[in-house]
Structures are given as C-alpha cells and as structure tokens.
Structure 1
C-alpha cells in the first residue's frame, strides 16, 4: 500500500509542503547573502583587522591603535573630518534640491516635460568631464568672474580660496548628481494619493502648506532613501571631482576621507593607515545614516 495514501500520508505530504514553503525564502535569498558576505563583509573584516597592523618596517606587525592615533594627529585627516561635518550640514540642501524640482514637475509647471529631461542630463556626465568644465567656468580669469566684473564685483578665487573651495566642489557635486535623486522622488510621487492633493487645493492650501502637510508625510520613505543614498554619494563618490578640481587643495582644505585614503594607499604606500581611515569612514557613515533615519522617522510620525 502506498505510504502517501490515507489520512496519515496526506498529513505528511502537507507537512513537507509547509516545510518547503518556510524554507523557500531562505533558499531564494541565500545566493545574495553569500555574495554580500563574500564580497562585502569578509573584505570589510579583513580591512578592519589590517588597520591594527603596521606599515613600512613594521609591516604585518600588530600595532594596536597606533594607526588610529596617527590619524587623529594628522592635520589633513582632521580637515577631512571637518569637511565631513560640512557635508552633513549641507546634506538637507542636497536632498531638497531634487525634491523641490520633482515637486514642480509633478505639479506640472509650464515646461515640465522639457525640464524633466534637462535636469537628468548632468547625471550621465563623467565626474572628470564635470570637473574640467567647472574648472574653466570657475577659473580666476574665467567666465564667471568676467560676468561679475561687468557688474562691478571683484573677481573671486573660487577654487584657490580655502574658505570657498570646498563649498564650490560640493555645489558642483550636487549639480552633477541631483538627477538620480530627482528620478527617485518622481517614482515616490507615483505612489502619492492624488486625492489628498486635490483636497488640499480645495481647502485653499498654499504650495508651502501642501509640501509640508501632504507631500513630505506621503514621501517619508522616499525621503529617507534619498537622504541615505545622497549621504553615501557625498562621502564616497566625490573623488573624481576633488582630483580634477582641487587635488585636495588649497592647503588641504578640500580633503575628504576617501581622498585621504587614496593618498595614503596610492602615493604614500601606507595601506594599514589607509585601512584605519576606511574603517573610520565606514563608522561615520553608519552613525550618520542611523541618526538620519531616526530623525526622519520621528518627523514622519509627528506629521
């Protein structure tokens, strides 16, 4: 007699089917987990471990926290950390720019189709090309200072003044990358309940009130995503612009951790010190990201 026939056989078959249903999600995500562990987490742990070893004559020797102490005694790394703080302060601006532009496109301002295509154009340009273009525009004898001189404003050393250069590099980065955030915001608008906007218009709400009380609460998760991805981009994807526009100058004022890491690894041949700087950069990104998500969640609940 077949074991699968009868009530007991049916129960065992259903039990096995339920077991496979419970295991199916784990089987499906297993390849992705293995890739992340093998290509991300394992190298990360190796890098952290390597940061506690020495460079040069002490290559491979355990040095404890010596690399981290050396980092915080280095004025260039201190400047890089100060610039990270500046990026965190400017981050809301970098998120607000694509958010507001996406809002105007969603509300169908005149010419929104044209702007929709033009706004994304900078995102397809190479950072090297963008940096070269703005080097010409922002040169001391370049077009921007020529225009300012025509209205009686003295020339500004946009990329040679330590107090100005970092703001210019960040501004160029925001201009070159806001197209990706714009696309994400437009995708978020597709999930927004249009009835809420219609009700707000009927009630006579101003554009500012619509943005604050309807759009922002409705796009909380989208805003969180753009905040995190923009922060990661600002901390890890500005090397091309820095290298082309300022090379870390003037006087090290535009150093960021990623540029400092490249200098230590590629030019100074100090991979252990570069690993320590990479570990600190990872911790900064983790802490700032978690704080941002916490603040945004709290803001979403309050709204």
Structure 2
C-alpha cells in the first residue's frame, strides 16, 4: 500500500444462514405445495386406473348390447338384472355372506388374541395360520374338492362319529356355505396380520389392570381389547367384506362352477358369465355397478354400526 493511502476496509465474510432461515425466506407457498406434489403421483394413478374406469363402466351400463350396441337404453339393463333369476340368486348369496361376515372377522380376531397373549405354541400357530394366504385360490379349490368330495376324508370323519355323509358341493343348500368357509380359511391370515398390528398399539397396562381386577378372558376381550381395536376391527370388517364379494371367483370356478343349480352364483361370477360367455358387456357393466353400490352401502352401514358400538362401549 503506498504511503498516505487510506487503508482499504476489510469486509467481514458473510455469515452462513441456517437452512431453516432459507426455507422461511422462500415463503409459506412452498410448504403448502409440497404435500400436494408428493401425493400427486398416487392421485393420478388412482384416478387413471380406478376412478376413470369406474366412471366409464357406469356410463357403459346405460348402453345396449347386441343390435343396440352403444345405443343409450336408460335403465333397461338394471331392469333386466332385477328380472334375472341368476342375479337374484347372486344377491341372495350376498345377503348370506353379509350374515357370515361377523364370524369371518371373529375367527382371526380370536386367534390374534391368543397369539398376543402368548399361548403355548403361539410362534408355530402364527406361521401355520398365515400359510393358506399365500396359496393360489385354484390350488385351494382343488385341494378342497378332494377333501369335500362325497366319499372324501371329511365325510369319512363324519361317518365315524355317526353324523352321516354330507354332499358339501352337490347340495344347493350347503354348497355356498362350503365355498364361503373355504374362502375364510384361505384368506383370514391377512386379517390375522392386521389384528396383530392393531395389538401392537394396544396399551398392555390396560390388560394388566383388568387381570388385577379379576376380569376373565371374555370380560377382558369385551371391555379392553374390542374398544382398543375399534379402528382395526372396522378396517378388517370392510376388507373382509370386499374379499367375500370380489375375491371368490377362483374358488367358485374350481369348486362349483356356479352350481349346483346355480346356487353358488355371486355378482362377480355373474359378471364373468355375462361378459365372457354371453358377450353382454353392457349388462355386465350394470352388474358391476350394482356390486359397487352394494359394497359401498354395506361398508358404510358396517362402519356406522361399529362406531356406534364403540361409543356405547
């Protein structure tokens, strides 16, 4: 620096700002948009692969088949459904399955309770109970066709105890219950896993307090476990109902083919018959729409009843 020159002032280095300050300077708009950006891919997939096909199917149900293909026909397809004995049988079977639904939910719930309470052999039981869930419905149906045959092992056991043989798959009054029972056996492993996940959020001190107060196992289940698992039970009820109404096609096709005397028809099997065998896609769309409405109404009714029971409990 030459003599007499003023010294050059030294500027201090800028202090690095924390990340939080940088984010705040960008404003709240980024924070508001971030959740929507993250959710957008899932929403697009749901809309594109679920909701839009559903809207198209509902719209297609108001068109005709055959000579009236693509022509608007109003409610003619729904009138045809109500007048079809096969579809009325399918609706009757839906009512039977809804009545069986509490049993289908109670079985995995009780088994999960025994596993949670660490009954002897609970580790082995957990693997054994879940194993059927990984089997194909075709394999399960083929196995139970042999077990439930008129001269099969089940009837041999009944003959030993003096109850006589039962035509499990050939009696129109029994076949739907046999197929539903096989479906529950093959699928309740998933509900069992959901119940065990619900037990992970249950406060164990509540059960300990119930034991100290001298509560029995049924009393503990009614007053501690059921209220603590209300949301889990609601979820299992809805998913089990959806499975009963939309996931039994494989078993029906292999075990009964809709028979005997069309007694095991369900809406999904009826839809396949109309679309795949009779080439009536518009009528099949109407049946699909009816099935969707049935599941929606039954699901909402179940949630309402369970919520009311939880508040009263």
Fold equivalence (TM over 0.5):
yes
Deviation, structure 1 residue 184: 0.4
Name the SS for the 1:161 alignment partner: coil
Deviation, structure 1 residue 62: 0.7
Name the SS for the 2:27 alignment partner: helix
Q: Kindly tell me: are residues 79 and 13 of structure 1, through their superposed partners in 2, closer, same or farther at Cα, counting changes over 3 Å?
A: closer
Aligned to 1:132: 142
Q: Kindly tell me: are residues 17 and 126 of structure 1, through their superposed partners in 2, closer, same or farther at Cα, counting changes over 3 Å?
A: same
Deviation, structure 1 residue 168: 0.4
Aligned to 2:296: 286
Aligned with residue 181 of structure 2, among 166, 171, 177: 171
| Alignment map for 1:169-208 (pairs within 5 Å) | 169-208=179-218
- The question of 1:120 aligning with 2:166 is answered no
Q: Kindly tell me: are residues 194 and 72 of structure 1, through their superposed partners in 2, closer, same or farther at Cα, counting changes over 3 Å?
A: same
Aligned to 1:72: 82
- The question of 1:62 aligning with 2:72 is answered yes
- Aligned mates of 2:231, 2:162 — CA distance in 1: 47
- Aligned mates of 1:106, 1:152 — CA distance in 2: 37
- Aligned mates of 2:155, 2:127 — CA distance in 1: 29
Q: Which has the higher helix share?
A: 1
Name the SS for the 1:48 alignment partner: helix
Aligned to 1:242: 252
| Alignment map for 1:259-274 (pairs within 5 Å) | 259-274=269-284
- Aligned mates of 1:31, 1:146 — CA distance in 2: 56
Aligned to 1:90: 100
Structure 2 unmatched runs, 5+:
1-20
Alignment deviations for residues 152-200 of structure 1 (CA, whole Å, 9 cap, x no partner): 3321111100110000000000000000000000011000000000000
Aligned to 1:23: 33
Aligned to 2:227: 217
Q: Which has the larger radius of gyration?
A: 2
Aligned with residue 167 of structure 2, among 154, 157, 181: 157
- The question of 1:48 aligning with 2:58 is answered yes
- Aligned mates of 1:124, 1:282 — CA distance in 2: 26
Name the SS for the 1:160 alignment partner: coil
Q: Calculate the aligned-residue CA RMSD, in Å.
A: 1.3
Q: TM-score of the superposition, structure 2-length normalised?
A: 0.91
Q: Which moved more, 1:18-27 or 1:94-103?
A: 18-27
- Aligned mates of 2:159, 2:211 — CA distance in 1: 45
Deviation, structure 1 residue 14: 4.1
